[in-house]
Amino acid sequence: MKIAFFTETFLPKVDGIVTRLTKTIDNLVQNGDEVVVFCPEGCPTEYKGAKIIGVAAMPLPLYPELKLGLPGPAVSDALENFKPDLIHVVNPAVLGLGGIWLAKSNNIPLIASYHTHLPKYLEHYGMGMLEPLLWELLKAAHNQALLNLCTSTAMVEELESKGIKRTALWQRGVDTETFKPEFRNQKMRNKLLGKYPDKNSLLIYVGRLSAEKQIERIKPVLEEIPDACLALVGDGPYRNQLEKIFENTQTNFIGYLSGEELASAYASGDIFLFPSSTETLGLVLLEAMAAGCPVIGANKGGIPDIINDGVNGCLYDPDGVDQGKSSLIEATKKILNNNTKKENMRIEARKESEKWNWSQATLQLKKYYEETLKQVQNSY
């Protein structure tokens, strides 16, 4: 099968979407499929046997890390030369809309997938009033597709409630060989702790440092638990603000880690704290669980699909009267104050992650592709 992906984000950027896409491409190519990826410029020209085509792009004003690709005639020519069996648009925005138009104008079957909860991001950038308009735009784009894939049951339900049709669940995946409890070590723990003493209360966060991740919600936890130290692994447009917010707390800004270092960081923490309530899934939670780190996440969006409260981690209420402050503190104390519970959660977190691998997720995706193509053939 020949598949053309259109995505607004790809390597060298690393985030949950890029991870899912690269693992999917790797598995598709291994299974004998041909893949071309259209993404913003600055990307490699090839990845694991797939051809990568960079498209001229400009930085998003509020979010310079993200680039908006502007499809031109070269994209149309490359697509015509490739002659795909279907187009898969990942998170349709500017480049994705180009993919939708090309699919429609060339009569190529179209599948879309929803990974970033953009309407919920708006309120964190002072533009909450635009949420209804954005949902209308997303509905118009996604309803062009023969199938709309979501990464959690909560997102399937929400998209359906907003009028987006033909939705289905694309199961989660995690690399349980890269992320393992065995990678826990004192050297990495010392790096995460920095100048602060090790009192068995090392909290870690991995991901973008951006407003919608609501990282500032961790500050009251540090104020309530004096022994706690926080390591923020990642970078992003909100870093300067966060450095001011977390001034005079035991917080280390580690920057980006990857490969073995990242795997070791996950495994070396006592709790993985993920306060964001805007997640469609939260892949970093699964990676932390694969590394045997107890996790705390919001009881909202796609996260309750992953966390079994009190078993492999804890859920906190992000919409409480105090914006989840007391709930997040209570969840953190519950794990830190009970070593037996903490160790049991490590074991259960790893067990949960072992249910989900990328090859199974890709096989499911391939089945969706085949069913969609059969549906198109039967309609003639």
Same domain for 160 and 246? no
Res. 225 pLDDT band, cuts 50 70 90: very high
Mean pLDDT of 97-111: 96
Q: Give whole-number Cα distances, 158 to 119, 165, 229, 302, in Å.
A: 11, 11, 36, 10
Same domain for 70 and 207? no
- From CA 90, how far away is CA 131, in angstroms rounded? 20
Residue 300's domain is classified under what CATH number? 3.40.50.2000
Structure confidence at residue 276 (pLDDT): 93
Structure confidence at residue 266 (pLDDT): 98
**Tens-place pLDDT, residues 6-32:** 999 999 988 889 999 999 999 999 999
Structure confidence at residue 124 (pLDDT): 60
Structure confidence at residue 350 (pLDDT): 97
**Tens-place pLDDT, residues 363-374:** 999 999 999 999
Res. 70 pLDDT band, cuts 50 70 90: confident
Q: How many domains does the chain have?
A: 2
- From CA 380, how far away is CA 365, in angstroms rounded? 24
Instruction: State the angle between helix axes of 259-268 and 283-290 in degrees (0 to 180), rounded to the nearest 10.
Output: 80
Using a cut of 0.85, tell me whether the model's pTM lies above it: yes
Question: What's the mean per-residue pLDDT of the chain?
Answer: 93
Mean pLDDT of 328-340: 96
Structure confidence at residue 250 (pLDDT): 98
Q: Give whole-number Cα distances, 206 to 90, 274, 284, 292, in Å.
A: 23, 8, 7, 15
Helix residue ranges, H only, 64-201: 73-82, 94-105, 118-121, 131-142, 153-161, 186-193
Residues, the chain: 380
Strand partners, 233: 206, 255
**Tens-place pLDDT, residues 274-286:** 999 888 788 999 9
Q: Which residues contact 370 (CB under 8 A, 6 or more apart)?
A: 1
Instruction: State the angle between helix axes of 339-353 and 283-290 in degrees (0 to 180), rounded to the nearest 10.
Output: 110
Same domain for 349 and 361? no
Helix residue ranges, H only, 300-338: 325-336
Nearest CA to 189 out of 55, 94, 293, 337 is that of: 293
Same domain for 164 and 235? no
Amino acid present at 237: P
Nearest CA to 295 out of 285, 283, 304 is that of: 285
**Tens-place pLDDT, residues 291-320:** 999 999 999 988 999 999 999 999 999 998
Same domain for 90 and 11? yes
* pLDDT-above-70 percentage for the chain: 96
Mean pLDDT of 166-177: 94
Same domain for 297 and 312? yes
Q: How far is the first Cα of the chain from the last one, in angstroms, to the nearest whole number?
A: 20
What is the 8-class DSSP label of residue 42? Answer: S
Whether 67 has a pLDDT exceeding 80, the answer reads: no
Same domain for 193 and 301? yes
Whether 51 has a pLDDT exceeding 80, the answer reads: yes
Whether 272 has a pLDDT exceeding 70, the answer reads: yes
Same domain for 11 and 155? yes
Structure confidence at residue 159 (pLDDT): 93
Q: Which domain holds residue 140?
A: 2-173+357-379
Query: Higher confidence at residue 68 or residue 115?
Result: 115
- From CA 226, how far away is CA 229, in angstroms rounded? 8
Per DSSP (E only), the strands in the chain are 2-7, 34-40, 46-47, 50-55, 57-60, 63-69, 86-90, 110-114, 147-150, 167-169, 202-206, 229-233, 251-255, 271-274, 295-298, 313-316
Same domain for 189 and 138? no
**Tens-place pLDDT, residues 125-155:** 677 787 778 789 989 999 999 999 999 898 8
Same domain for 295 and 366? no
Same domain for 164 and 312? no
Res. 196 pLDDT band, cuts 50 70 90: very high
Res. 115 pLDDT band, cuts 50 70 90: confident
Q: Give whole-number Cα distances, 182 to 10, 69, 263, 265, 345, in Å.
A: 30, 41, 10, 11, 15
Same domain for 161 and 22? yes
